Chain A
């Protein structure tokens, strides 16, 4: 039984690129190991999907039976959260973290059930496919052409004490699929023709590896800072790890280049990207500027960036406010036109931003066409 002090339980998530990589199997093996070490372990919910080897490895672990939930004319089987909370094991194995519960249960989503168990002091092992992460859903849908409807907020994974990647090469997974180790024989052809294509799996594997690498990096930074004198830094660590870029744009053709560069940087950092245009109050746009603005909005939408438009007489203050509001860690801007007259005495915008936004990197994006001048920019 869990201790009565109600210290929250620990969550360990086994994540993988797709069904069939062995997440549930590995979770069950860990359950056995914990049980052999003397802990009270139960299975709260297990989805074997008819896989004999998974069912076999579950033998020897106590299972809390599912409960029946009536929904319209159907009877559905769901995890019995009240029974788990009443039993209060030390460790509970709960498969499929992203599952949506039937109406009429305590919580709409299984991750909320898991949070309840953790709050009751129960340690939880769970499983997740990477396409169920909310922030990756669009990306993976575009990769695979299949939209996954059950998603969980990324913060749930961020809250996990441990994230373990269950990795398998796409070739090995396809071999398992063809051997009938993932789905029943009648579903194999459909799976091979839809989701389980080598290019899909390769892309998903890359996403899963990247996701876990980011989680590990985030955890490491937090761990290094916790316990040090700089406790305020530790509190800020999750924000510091979650990079967010802000590109300062204006409706003119060169802004597209800046946005592309910012997007590439955001991709490399795994960061979100905002575009900001600070418009002078009452400023009328020329026809060309209107077209450029429409093109910028379109580019932002296609890239998945957020276009923010602010009206202000004081661009620096407007930029600072947006950067603070959005948790910006990098600001990118194009090179300025040389100042004239006494404007030379004015502190340049990058310096003003650095003074007012300590801790935010400011990057001036060069015009590469100047560098390319005189060279051949031809592909092979």
Chain B
């Protein structure tokens, strides 16, 4: 009797194993955490090689509080004499390491990240295109005339007028000279 039970349990276990093994399709390799839908999204646009640490930290705080995803977005500018679809390896050489740095730092704090790259004739045009294509709930930008840090005052005014999302503009502060830069990348990226 005991032997029969053991055999039945073993067979059932084997069948369950087979089912579990093959139920997962070969395409489903990504962690389930990153497939969650419907989360709030916080856009963190930038144009240069560094981003204000205050705006990054604000994005992380809000993302943690709201269980949101941070969307750092590199806005690349296409010169007028080039087709809009042109590849931009030189700008990407500056923007990609910063995207990596932001993603590493946010992930290390437990905040999920979903990066984007926008492309347009200007930073504003790239942002406008991104806004048309993407859904997000909030934008965080630093009020900083330094073009390395992000968008100009004019761009910020335009955002307040046109962007259908909450916009958090951080006032310049002494600690704004601390930035997340491409040098923050861990590893040989």
Contacts and interface: CB of A to CB of B under 8 A. Distances in A.
B175 interface: no
Kindly name the residue among B99, B114, B181 whose own CB sees the greatest number of chain A CB atoms within 10 A. B114
B21 A264 contact: no
A30 B163 CA distance: 64
B81 interface: yes
A190 interface: no
Contact of A374 (B86, B108, B185): B108
Contact of B183 (A141, A315, A380): A380
A252 B91 contact: no
Interface string A238-265: 0000000000001011111100110110
Contact of B187 (A252, A340, A371): A371
Contact of B27 (A283, A303, A346, A371): A283
Interface size grouping (class) on chain A? 35 or more
A172 interface: no
B76 A302 contact: yes
A279 B172 CA distance: 47
B135 A291 contact: yes
A229 interface: no
Interface string B102-128: 011111100011111111000000000
Interface string A124-168: 000000000000001101110111000000000000000000000
Contacts of B17: 341-342
Nearest to B111: A369
A378 B180 contact: yes
Interface in B131-189: 133-135, 178-187, 189
B43 to A, nearest CB: 13
Interface in B70-105: 76, 79, 81-82, 85-93, 96, 99-101, 103-105
B24 interface: yes
Given A342-B20, A369-B104, A369-B107, A147 B82 contact: yes
Nearest to A145: B79
Interface stretch (A50-58, A331-339, A353-361): A331-339
Contact of B30 (A141, A264, A337, A342): A337
Interface residues of B, number: 68
A145 B108 CA distance: 39
B21 A302 contact: no
Contacts of A278: 27
Contacts of A370: 107
A375 interface: yes
Interface stretch (A82-90, A107-115, A210-218, A292-300): A292-300
Contact of A260 (B29, B36, B100): B100
B89 to A, nearest CB: 6
Contact of A294 (B50, B93, B100, B133): B133
A146 B79 CA distance: 10
A46 to B, nearest CB: 31
Contacts of A256: 99, 103, 114-115
B53 interface: yes
B8 interface: no
A295 B27 CA distance: 19
B34 A340 contact: no
Kindly name the residue among B21, B101, B113 whose own CB sees the greatest number of chain A CB atoms within 10 A. B21
A286 interface: yes
A279 B118 CA distance: 25
Given A260-B96, A372-B186, A377-B184, A342 B22 contact: yes
A72 interface: no
A367 B103 CA distance: 10
A260 B99 contact: yes
A255 B93 CA distance: 18
Nearest to A203: B90
A325 interface: no
A284 interface: no
B144 to A, nearest CB: 16
A373 B115 CA distance: 19
7 contacts: A141-B82, A143-B90, A291-B135, A337-B29, A341-B21, A346-B21, A368-B186
Interface of B: 14, 16-22, 24-31, 34-37, 50, 53, 69, 76, 79, 81-82, 85-93, 96, 99-101, 103-108, 112-119, 133-135, 178-187, 189
Given A298-B118, A337-B31, 10 more contacts: A138-B89, A252-B34, A261-B189, A299-B117, A302-B76, A341-B20, A342-B22, A343-B21, A372-B107, A378-B180
Q: Which 5 A-B pairs have the closest CB atoms?
A: A369-B107, A304-B87, A379-B181, A341-B20, A342-B21
